[in-house]
Amino acid sequence: MKYDRKLLLEDGSEYLGFGFGSRKDAVFEVVFNTSMTGYQEIISDPSYTDQAVVMAYPLIGNYGLANEDFESRITAPSALIVRTVSETPSNFRSISSLPEYLADADVPGIGGVDPRRLVRSLRDRGTQRGILTGADVPAAEGVRRILETPVQRDAVRRCSCKKRWYMRTSNPLYQVVAIDCGIKRNIVRELNRYHCNVTVVPYDTDSEVIMAMLPDGVFISNGPGDPEDVPEVVETLKKLRGRVPMFGICLGHQLLALSAGASTYKLKFGHRGGNHPVKDLRTGRIEITSQNHSYAVEEASLAGTGLAVTHINLLDGTVEGLRSERDRIMSVQYHPESAPGPRDSLHLFSQFTELMRKG
């Protein structure tokens, strides 16, 4: 079979393969995920907006897609890059194959590439931008198109909800307002499981509008892009600080740090996978976590912010958790709700409800 598609990186390196899904060209940031399963949750996670995801595991799509496993209503990545894609899934829950779903969602994919070579390149050289295009497109033309395509800075605006919505639970004990920067459904489901009624609001909702809902706590969600691109949320969190318990995950963790006066920086190639060891500095407990982020909080910048480091990543020592007992704030860089990934950290939702109970 003749190669018909090509992944081209901005350094000029080329990866020939076979197209599936949509046949359109796309420019994106290229990142990799080391998870062996969970591709459906990954492609429906809004945190991957404007990115092409390289799946390091060689076989993707073998169990198809199921209605219950979507993490949002959008197909977030700009492209999917795999070694082998299954067109005939085996799963009684499956409603579609992965290639069929991506074609309907107008998202291009490429198979037949060597993920080992590609992941090593991104790990060693750092995250790069790339383009998925026809196999016959010259490298110089592809690089020119990458450089001429501006980097978009409004990913949170595009994937946040446009109006508030609700998810109720039986016998609720707490009312939580969730600021949607690209929220995953399993976060809302876990809050429900811990006896929280949840009102999800757009990312740019004013602090006084939030307080008028009389929340017992405020949750700040995960989401895509640079945390400095959403100053509206940072200002909202500044005004909410000390008035109500707050819990942030992933982008929400970074935004809480920015609102306290700390700074963030971009990692060389980010953390994406389901096997990242994190240590709780308060208990000494080590948990295996699910992660998906490009940015991290600068530890040295936390001095004087009132936030204390509670968790660190054992692979590179980066900040993975923050807490302020005085202002009833807690945050983690990883995903305790999993989906996909290990469930070692679900107890954090219980800690959030304990903050609200004390409040």
Q: Mind listing the domains of the chain with CATH numbers?
A: 5-151 (3.50.30.20), 156-358 (3.40.50.880)
Q: How far is CA 148 from CA 179, 194, 196, 291, 331, in A?
A: 34, 48, 47, 31, 37
Instruction: Give the pLDDT confidence score for residue 210 in this predicted structure.
Output: 98
Which is it for strands 264-280 and 286-297: parallel, antiparallel or unpaired? antiparallel
**Confidence (pTM):** 0.97
**Locus of tokens 């074609």:** 103
Active site residue 250: yes
Residue among 128, 116, 113 nearest 12 (CA)? 128
Residue among 265, 238, 244, 246 nearest 254 (CA)? 265
Strand partners, 174: 196
Instruction: Give the pLDDT confidence score for residue 359 in this predicted structure.
Output: 75
Concatenated DSSP letters for 74-132?
A: S---SEEE-SEE-SS---TT--B-HHHHHHHTT-EEEES--HHHHHHHHHHH--EEEEE
Active site residue 181: no
- The H-assigned helical ranges of the chain are 39-43, 98-104, 115-125, 139-148, 155-159, 185-193, 207-212, 231-240, 251-259, 347-358
- Tell me which amino acid residue 143 is: V
Residues of the chain with pLDDT under 70: 1
Instruction: Give the pLDDT confidence score for residue 269 in this predicted structure.
Output: 97
Instruction: Give the pLDDT confidence score for residue 2 in this predicted structure.
Output: 86
Catalytic option among 253, 271, 293, 335 = 335
Q: What is the pLDDT of residues 45-100, one digit of tens each?
A: 999 999 999 999 999 999 999 999 999 999 999 999 999 999 999 999 999 999 99
Active site residue 159: no
Catalytic option among 29, 71, 320, 337 = 337
Residue among 258, 247, 249, 210 nearest 327 (CA)? 247
Residue among 19, 23, 22, 73 nearest 43 (CA)? 73
Q: What is the pLDDT of residues 47-62, one digit of tens each?
A: 999 999 999 999 999 9
Catalytic option among 159, 196, 250, 253 = 250
Q: In what order do the strands lie in the sheet with 246-249?
A: 165-167, 196-202, 174-180, 217-220, 246-249, 329-332, 319-324, 308-313, 264-280, 286-297
Instruction: Give the pLDDT confidence score for residue 282 in this predicted structure.
Output: 97
Tokens of 19: 């197209």
